[in-house]
Amino acid sequence: MFYGIDLHTDSFKAAILSENSEELTMETVNLKTDAFKRFLSKLAPEDYIVVEASTNTFWFIDQVKESVKEVYVVDPYKFSIIANSRKKTDKVDAIKLAKKLKYYICYDKSADEFPTIYIPSKEVSELRSMFVTYEMLKKQACMTKNRMRSLFRQNGIFNFAGENLSYKHVQEKIMNLQVSASLSAQLKVLLSLLNTQENEKENIKKEILVKGKIFYREVKILTSIRGVSPFLAIAIMSDIADINRFSNAKKLCSYLRTAPRIDASGNKEHVGKVNKQSRTLTASLMTESIKHFIDSSDRLHRFYFDKRKGKSAGKVRVAVMRKIIVIIYNMLKDEKLYYYKDEKNYAAKLKQYESLLAA
């Protein structure tokens, strides 16, 4: 059987096609009832399932993967028969998925016609989820700081320009300000909120570092690059999961949102924007280490200053990150350390990480 699944938060529509006929049946299954258990009991080892990528897709896969031959996840943005459909209902989408799955399995296994998404292991999925929480806390802390700076400007307080509001000595100065009762009350609440956000961010960061030991071998390789901490190395690997699924460095750069689209015609070349449907975590965290990357070798230092001529700061940052990702690709493929590694810095990073794991 071939199952096309249109998955929602608490239910799904299933279109079911048999291999030897065009007869199609439809089912609506509520995930919160025994109907889902009955659906699972009907699955057979020779069956195939396809489902669109959504928030609870990987959970759904964990429930069905042991009962069927193969589960596929398709990218709804690249899957043309869904993305370009004029008539879009749950039933229509499920039927299109089932028919396309049958054609793919029985007649033409073309990746272009059936753009699937990599299904990571449960451990990698959990790491990715933890990073989402970490990024959320980081954004919330930034919003809290911005609100405090806004209050300072509104009240003509210029003492804290450029100061890190997370530092204890800075917070003590803030609490000792001679200001109105209303401003004092707001600052007190915001500082308490900021400290909670920062503490919880550090807690989830420690959990990520411990969970990330599944990539210990890769962490040892990647931390040989100046600017790549064990935390950043784990973030990179949670995005990549397995370097062998990328046939070349260009595909990895595109996947990690650092490869712009290039349109060339004749002697004209236009460099467009990066792929907006790719992973964002690695690029987001790597931005904080740009200066370290530039200083890691004379070669990258020259590359950076050459790129600065006539280009915006944003494009130069992306170019540097793309260069580092190409290096990362080759290091992971060849299992080799960074050629320009700083031995002292590298040893310190590994020692600190191993101490955390041993605690």
pLDDT in tens, 151-194: 999 999 988 888 899 999 999 999 999 999 999 999 999 999 99
* Helix (H), strand (E) at residue 203: helix 181-211
pLDDT of residue 90: 79
For 220, the token pair is 């040892």
Query: How many domains does the structure of the chain reveal?
Result: 3
Q: Find how far residue 78's CA is from the centre of its chain.
A: 18
Q: Quick one: 93 and 128 in the same domain?
A: no
Of 169, 197, 213, the last residue of a domain is: 213
Tell whether 332 and 238 lie within a shared domain.
yes
- One domain, residues 174 and 204: yes
Q: For residue 293, with 0-12 CB atoms within 10 Å meaning exposed, 13-18 middle and 19 or more buried, which class applies?
A: buried
Q: Which two tokens stand for residue 197?
A: 């956000």
Residue 114 within any structural domain of the chain = no
Tokens of 274: 């990066």
- The angle subtended at Cα 278 by Cα 288 and Cα 126, nearest 5°, is 80
Q: State the pLDDT at residue 200.
A: 97
172 domain-assigned = yes
Shared domain check, 243 and 177: no
CATH number at residue 84: 3.30.420
Q: Please give the Cα distance from 99 to 81 (Å, whole number).
A: 11
- Token pair recorded at residue 203: 């807690």
Domain with 171, as residue range(s), is 122-213
235 and 346 fall within a common domain: yes
Tell me the DSSP string of 225-242.
Answer: STT--HHHHHHHHHHHS-
Please identify, among 166, 187, 213, the residue that sits at the C-terminal boundary of a domain. 213
Residue 117 covered by a domain: no
DSSP string over 94-147:
HHHHHHHHHHHHHT---TTTS-B-----HHHHHHHHHHHHHHHHHHHHHHHHHH
Are 155 and 177 spatial neighbours (Cβ–Cβ below 8 Å)? Answer: no
- Let me know whether 254 and 352 are in one domain: yes
User: Same domain for 236 and 249?
Assistant: yes
- Which of 197, 213, 229 terminates a domain? The answer is 213
**Structural domain contains residue 112:** no
Quick check: is 113 in a domain? no
Question: If you search the block for the tokens 């199609």, which residue do you land on?
Answer: 24
pLDDT at 55: 82
Q: Which residues of the chain have pLDDT under 70?
A: 78-88, 110-113, 260-277
Stated pTM of the model: 0.82
3-state per-residue secondary structure call for 35-85 = HHHHHHHHCCCCCEEEEECCCCHHHHHHHHCCCCCEEEEECCCCCHHHHCC
According to the model, what pLDDT value does residue 136 have? 96
Amino acid identity of residue 176, one-letter, is: N
- Examine the domain organization and report whether 203 and 285 are in the same domain: no
- Residue 163 and residue 38 share a domain: no
Backbone angles phi, psi at 270, to 5 degrees: -115, 125
168 and 251 inside one domain: no
Distances (CA, A) of 280 to 11, 18, 143, 212, 228: 29, 39, 20, 18, 17
Q: Note whether 227 and 351 are same-domain residues.
A: yes
pLDDT at res. 348: 95
Residue 116 in domain:
no
Residue 190 sits in the same domain as residue 261: no
Residues 328 and 235: their CA atoms lie apart, in Å, by: 13
